Amino acid sequence: MNDRIDYTLSYVAYLDVLGFTEMVMNEDKKSKKRLASYFDRVDGLTAYFEKLPLKDKVQIIAISDSIILSLPINSEFENPFDNLKQLCVAVGIF
């Protein structure tokens, strides 16, 4: 059994949705609607990213009110900062 874990040097962005706990705990219709809208938006944006050229490079993980995006530093671009720029664009879209 191989216990070795191979890591890839990557740029990582961590997004935290403010007010998420309040939306979950609040029973009113407005909060429930906002919560449903949040999950619809995350699903829609994830589907949008699958259509982009870097779809196999940008990794998106959504856990509750946290969204984590990562992109390997050494990808198909000549300049590694191009990857950082692409990740910043992805964060801006979210």
Write the CATH number for 55.
3.30.70
Tally of domains in the chain = 1
In a domain, residue 3? The reply is no
Q: Which residue has the tokens 């829609």?
A: 44
Q: Is the dihedral of CA 47, 79, 70, 1 positive or negative?
A: positive
Q: What is the reported pLDDT for 67?
A: 86
CB-CB contact of 72 with 83 (8 Å): yes
pLDDT band at 73; cut points 50, 70, 90: confident
pLDDT digits (tens, 9 = 90+) for 9-63: 888 999 888 777 777 777 788 878 888 888 888 888 777 777 766 666 778 888 8
In a domain, residue 35? The reply is yes
What is the three-class DSSP state of 2?
coil
In a domain, residue 82? The reply is yes
What DSSP letter does each residue of 8-60 carry, written as one string?
--EEEEEEE-TTHHHHHH--SHHHHHHHHHHHHHHHHHHHHHTTSTTTTT-EE
Domain interval for residue 60: 10-93
